Each structure stands twice: as C-alpha cells, then as structure tokens.
Amino acid sequence: MDLNEIIVLYSAGELSGYEVKERINALGIAQTESGRAAESASLWTLQDELPATQPDRSLLHGEALSLFQKILLTTDGTVTDLISLYKGEAIKVDIIDQEIVFADAPTYLQCGKEALLLKRIVLLKGPSGSHVYAESIFVIERLSERIRERLLETNLPIGLLWKEERLESHREILTYYIEREEKVSALLGQPAGSDLLSRTYLIHNRQSVLGAITEKFPLTSFR
C-alpha cells in the first residue's frame, strides 16, 4: 500500500487514525541526514501557534536592507527563482529532515484535529553556498498526487513544483523580522550570533490552507 492509497482509504473513512499511523510507519517515509535527527528536532519553530510577532515594517524603510532583501521578505512568489536570478546559479534543495506524520494539526492549517502532515526542513543552496533555511508543514490531502510523489522522490523546491503544475495559490505573509538563531546560522555557514532575516507565511489555494513556511537568510546576504 502506497501513500496515495492510504490517503484515499482514510478520506473514505476506511482507515482509523491508528491504522493510518501504522501504515505510514510501515512505509518508512522519512529522510534525515545522518547525525542530524536531534539537530532538526531542536530547529523546528512552526509549532501549534504561529509566531505572534507582527511584521517589522520598519525594515522596509530606510537603507538598513537592500532592495533585494526587501523583495525577499515581501514577495508573493517563490524565493528560489529570485535567488537563482540574483546569484546567476542553479538552486537545489538539501533536505535536512522530512517526515510524514498523522497527528493533531496546528489550528492555523484549518483542517480539524488530526491530519496527515508533511514536515520538512531544507536548505536552498547553490555552488556559492547555502542561501536560505526553510521549514514547512503541509496538509498532505490538500496536495495533488503528482506533487506528493515528486516531493518525496525528488529534491525540487515545492515552489517550482507548484509552478510546473500551474497551481493557483497565494502567500499570506504573517510576519517578518530580524532574529538570531545560532544553529540556523551554522547551517548557513555564518558565524554564531549573526543576524538573520526571517519570514513566515501561509499558502492558500482557493478556500484551503495548503501549509505554512518559515524562511530565514543571513542579513549579510543579498546586499
């Protein structure tokens, strides 16, 4: 039984929550780089509630940020394409952690108490280095079968997959601000104590929330 069959049976009420968990575990759908499991667990920030911090709109005024950094914080498009154009290089996904769980869904996903969720922590990187740290959580049942398969079988950015599928979606930007996170800085090849630009947004398709994403990149990048 593959993932799509599990989803169909669960949606039809033919599998209980316990049976879904058993079958997901049997599939062994998880990708965690050796030695990074504990690290990825401590990195995760998309919890039951989204960050309460309001967008720091002062960042958009003055000269503290470059024009390109302001665009990255506020764009309704995929940052992968923007960074690829800016750097003049292909961008790939380095998966730090990826798993499918059947668990209580965060309220902001608006999908009831329990759901099949895809959780990912990745780096967007190119030949010149790591550019963006991103963590995401998606409602599996709201993704197309093709997107589900390609997310699990390839290292392509999800924004690119949606673009290829011509999915009509928009990003609701919830917050952006400057923070310091030592472990994320290390993953991005930055010194401890480095400032990071961070943004969190929901992805909507028609009346549904597909998921939430937090992206972080060094304040010293894209100047």
* Contact status, residue 103 vs residue 111, Cβ threshold 8 Å: no
CATH number at residue 55: 3.40.1410.10
Q: What is the pLDDT of residue 38?
A: 47
pLDDT over threshold 90, residue 107: no
pTM, two decimals, is: 0.83
pLDDT tens per residue across span 1-20: 677 777 777 677 777 766 77
Helix/strand/coil for 3 = helix
For 193-205, what is each residue's pLDDT tens digit? 899 999 999 999 8
Residue 52 has pLDDT above 70, yes or no: no
The mean pLDDT of the chain is: 83
Residue 197 is assigned to a structural domain of this protein: yes
Q: Three-state SS string across 150-215, please?
A: HHHHCCCCHHHHHHHHCCCCEEEEEEEEEEECHHHHHHCCCCCCCEEEEEEEEEEECCEEEEEEEE
| Residue 54 maps to a domain | yes
Residue 70 tokens read as: 């302001």
Strand partners, 114: 104
pLDDT in tens, 136-192: 999 988 888 888 877 777 777 777 777 777 777 788 998 999 999 999 999 999 998
Task: Tell me whether residue 79 is in a domain.
Answer: yes
Give a yes or no: residue 3 inside a domain.
Answer: no
Specify the pLDDT at position 39: 54
Predicted local confidence at residue 178, as pLDDT? 93
Element (H, E) at 33: none
Would you say residue 83 lies in a domain?
yes
Structural domain containing residue 175: 31-218
